[in-house]
Amino acid sequence: MQLDCSAIALSCRRYGEGAAIVHLYTAELGRIAAYVHGGASRRQAAIWQAGALISCHYTSRLPSQLPQVSGETMLETAAFLMDRPAILAMVNALAALTDQALPEGEPQPGFFAETVSTLVALTRGQGDAASMAYLRWECALLQAAGFGLDLSSCAVTGTTENLAYVSPKSGRAVSADAAGKWRDRLLPLPEFMLMTSGTPSDAPVTAREIRDGARLTAYFLAQHVFGARHLPIPSPRQLLQDRLEKAVPDFNGTAENTAQD
């Protein structure tokens, strides 16, 4: 089988003297592992960097053999983000989550397209816009991994107004009025998480809201995606969470301004 397709580089490790084993995500084949001749060389290092968008040629001969790929860079994501470490952390988390959360060899063209759009948004976005795009992508990842959040209406009353929390058990939204005495047991739901991708918003988004959104998706990733397989959440995602936590002012009103780089 031979196929020319677009792919997102997820991870790369050296194999032998100069080759590499890469993990890629494609619309046609889903998540795959492949052999790259010379993939560990300096000339090819940037091609297979996590988060890069690649035009690749895929060749598979026998089911018992690892397929081979060659490729050219379409979008060298990291090159755009060397001066924006917080957004680069989001790209690294995106690649690690895709690599470890999704089953191998199961195509999901819709989610692939959304992932490409998010990578492009991250390279072009700044601060709040990039953070919101990334966290909405994590919601889509939960759906693709088999546990989608239902933020369309209140689980208790059915209303679509004033949704402020999410049930940690069901993943459904709960309105502020219906939360009552249980609000301390629910997860805060930032308003921007209810907006579709590309929806304009005049209201500023605070570092606390970004932090709460990241806590929300991290909880369900840890419990229902990785916890179900007795695995920890990938370290790049945990490092991103640590960065977002530090961006929220403490009781003295100080903060490290790392989330909006």
Name the residue among 28, 61, 24, 26 with its Cα closest to residue 39: 24
pLDDT at position 62 is 82
Please enumerate in sequence order all residues whose Cβ is within 8 A of that of 188, keeping only pairs 6 or more positions apart, or say none.
Answer: 164, 165, 166, 212, 215, 216
What beta strand segments (E) does 37-190 contain? 53-59, 68-75, 163-166, 173-175, 187-188
The Cα–Cα gap between 9 and 135 comes to: 20
- Phi and psi at 125, nearest 5°, equal -85, 165
Per the CB < 8 A criterion, the answer to whether 69 and 52 are in contact is no
pLDDT at 247: 86
Neighbour tally for 244: CB within 10 Å: 26
Write phi, then psi, for 127 (nearest 5 degrees): 45, -115
Spans of all domains in the chain: 2-76, 81-151+189-246
What integer pLDDT is reported at residue 248 of this predicted model? Answer: 85
Classify domain 2-76 by CATH architecture.
Beta Barrel (2.40)
- Residues with pLDDT less than 50, the chain: 197-202, 251-254, 256-261
CA atoms of 48 and 36, how far apart (whole Å): 9
**Spatial separation of the C-alpha atoms in residues 89 and 111, rounded to whole Å:** 21
Report the C-alpha gap between 184 and 141 in whole angstroms. Answer: 26
Query: 81-151+189-246 architecture in CATH?
Result: Up-down Bundle (1.20)
pTM of the predicted model over 0.85? yes
Report pLDDT for 242.
Answer: 96
Q: Is 122 in contact with 76 (CB distance < 8 Å)? A: no
